[in-house]
Structure 1
Amino acid sequence: MIEVGALRALRSVAALGTLARAADELGFTASAVSQQIKRLERQVGVPVLAPAGRGVVLTPAGRAIVDSAPEVFQALERCAEAAQSVAEGAPRGTLRVVAFSTAIRGLLAPAIPGLSARCPELRVEIVEQDPDEALHSVDAGTADLALAHDADGLPVPLPASLNRCLLHTDVGDVVMPRTHPLARLDRPLGNADLIGHRWVTSPPGTVCHQWFRRLFADVPEDPDVRHWVDDFSTQLALVAAGEVLALIPRLARPPLREGLVPRPLRRPPQREVHAVWRSSADASPAIRTVLAELGAG
């Protein structure tokens, strides 16, 4: 009979392309993963991996096994969830959550005290991961729940093995000194209001930089960007110095120091934050409880 651990190892190698990367994901050494794969090959009687440059690829037999693996993992997970449901549905054990940093700060961290008080037997473990990596971790079974934002306004496509629900819609505001002329306007800021000011923004390649560029998409002149900084606390320090403005998502915004104010935009950039879990874990008391604490509809 095929061992579940060996099956999980092959699935991870197939997704990541090397034994070393699979070992990092699974928390084993590369040697241990290699031994699991060899044990699987002895169990099925045929090779499941073949070398390809510095990595490996699946043989046809290996591909057939990996394609069948989701059904196995889903069946095992349904067994575990059925046992938990029989036990009065009390959330217990460990729930592994992966999320991007600002979702940890703005959504998960505020929910932890309530969860600890109501579910003392539930241990929530949080690991910071970017959305693509987080979705892979949930699908691969190395995490139970992911918080991921959409890709520049487009929902991230999910395999049939995963479910999601909307948790939060995040929007961006312009932060400035209270003495700035724009701070005195009693209306949301339009694109034309943003011309002629100096800025600090997140580096190219980040979602927040895409938000910033979109603000000036209909403006004939390029914005005057003085600083490119990824950390929002550092951005706010530069704003407090009185030299620049910053576009900062509400979910990511640290508490504002004295003298700084946020101003809303007429057409604010926004992103949706979804919770994602395996379809086979729909009945999980732990996942249901955490989603309820996070305010999922």
Structure 2
Amino acid sequence: MIDVAALRALRSVAALGTLARAADELGFTASAVSQQIKRLERQVGVPVLAPAGRGVVLTPAGQAIVDTAPEVFQALERCAEAAQSVAEGAPRGVLRVVGFSTAVRGLLAPALRRLSTDCPDLHVHITEQDPDQALHSVDAGTADLALVHDADGLPAPLPPSLTRRHVHSDVGDVVMNRNHPLARHDPPLAGADLAGQAWVTSPPGTVCHQWFRRLFADGAEEPDVRHLVDDFATQLSLVAAGEVIALIPRLARPPLGGELVSRPLRRQPRREVHAAWRRSADTSPAIQAVLAELGSLGGRTRTEQDRRGYP
């Protein structure tokens, strides 16, 4: 009989191209992954990997195994879900959640407070991952639930084995020192209001930098970018000094305190946040409990933002 751990190792090697990368994903050493692959080859009686430069490729036999692996993992997952349903469907055990940093800060961390009270036998383990990596982790079975955001208005491509649900809409506001001239401006801000301002912004290649560039898409002059900083807390520290302003997603923002204020934009940049999980885990009590709390939290977050006018 094929060893499930060895099958999972082969699937990760196939997706990532090297034993070392697969080992990092699975939490093993490269030597341990190599031993799992060799055990699998002994079990099926044929080679499943072949060297290719600095990496490896699947043999035809290995490809055939990887192609049928999802059916195996889905069947195993259905077995686990059946056992949980017999136990009255109570959320229990460990749920491995992966997500981008601001979703961890703004959605998962607040959700954990309620889950610890409502589901005391459920233990959520969180790993920060970018959306593409997070979807791969869930598809590969090394995570159970992913929080991902769309890229430039388009949802990330979803592997056939996964399904998703919208959980939150995140928007960006301009944050400034309370003594900044724009702080006296009645919201919302238009593009003309931002002309000539000095900025700290996220580096190129990030969603927030794309948001920032769109603010000036119709302008003739390049914006005055003084600082490129990926960490939002550091951005806010520079904004507090009074020299620059910043475009910050609401999910990324801690309480602003007395020094800072935020103002919404007339054309608000927006990204949609989805939860994704394997279709075979649709009935998982643990996943459904987390989804329910995220949905409830999203409603409470929007209500609080509306009550404050402009957070």
User: TM-score of the superposition, structure 2-length normalised?
Assistant: 0.93
Task: Find out whether 1:280 has 2:286 as its counterpart.
Answer: no
Q: Which runs of 5+ in 1 are unaligned?
A: none
Aligned residue number for residue 30 of structure 1: 30
Per the TM alignment, residue 124 of structure 1 is displaced from its structure 2 partner at its CA by 0.7
Deviation string, structure 1 residues 83-138 (Cα, Å, up to 9, x no partner): 10111000111000011111111001111111011111111111111111111100
Give the partner amino acid of 1:51.
Answer: P
Aligned residue number for residue 18 of structure 1: 18
Aligned residue number for residue 133 of structure 1: 133
8 Å CA contact 1:163, 1:277 repeated in 2: yes
Per the TM alignment, residue 207 of structure 1 is displaced from its structure 2 partner at its CA by 1.2
Aligned residue number for residue 251 of structure 2: 251
Q: Measure, in 2, the Cα distance between the counterparts of 1:81 and 1:189.
A: 50
Task: Find out whether 1:261 has 2:261 as its counterpart.
Answer: yes
Give the partner amino acid of 2:226.
Answer: R
Q: Measure, in 2, the Cα distance between the counterparts of 1:187 and 1:238.
A: 23
Give the partner amino acid of 1:279.
Answer: R
Q: Measure, in 2, the Cα distance between the counterparts of 1:238 and 1:76.
A: 51
Q: Measure, in 1, the Cα distance between the counterparts of 2:17 and 2:30.
A: 13
Give the partner amino acid of 1:202.
Answer: S
Aligned residue number for residue 238 of structure 2: 238
Task: Find out whether 1:108 has 2:108 as its counterpart.
Answer: yes
Aligned residue number for residue 5 of structure 2: 5
Secondary structure of the structure 2 residue equivalent to 1:153: coil
Q: Matches of residues 1-297 of structure 1 in structure 2 within 5 Å?
A: 1-295=1-295
Q: Measure, in 1, the Cα distance between the counterparts of 2:236 and 2:114.
A: 30
User: TM-score of the superposition, structure 1-length normalised?
Assistant: 0.97
Secondary structure of the structure 2 residue equivalent to 1:294: helix
Q: Measure, in 1, the Cα distance between the counterparts of 2:75 and 2:111.
A: 30
Per the TM alignment, residue 294 of structure 1 is displaced from its structure 2 partner at its CA by 0.8
Decide which moves more: 182-191 or 258-267. Answer: 182-191
Identity %: 82
Q: Measure, in 1, the Cα distance between the counterparts of 2:103 and 2:132.
A: 14
Deviation string, structure 1 residues 124-163 (Cα, Å, up to 9, x no partner): 1111111111111000000000111111211001011001
Q: Measure, in 1, the Cα distance between the counterparts of 2:126 and 2:6.
A: 25
8 Å CA contact 1:232, 1:254 repeated in 2: no
Give the partner amino acid of 1:191.
Answer: G
Q: Measure, in 1, the Cα distance between the counterparts of 2:187 and 2:294.
A: 31
For the aligned residues, what is the CA RMSD?
1.1
Q: Measure, in 2, the Cα distance between the counterparts of 1:185 and 1:36.
A: 63
Number of residue pairs aligned between Structure 1 and Structure 2: 297
Give the partner amino acid of 2:173.
Answer: D
Secondary structure of the structure 2 residue equivalent to 1:32: helix
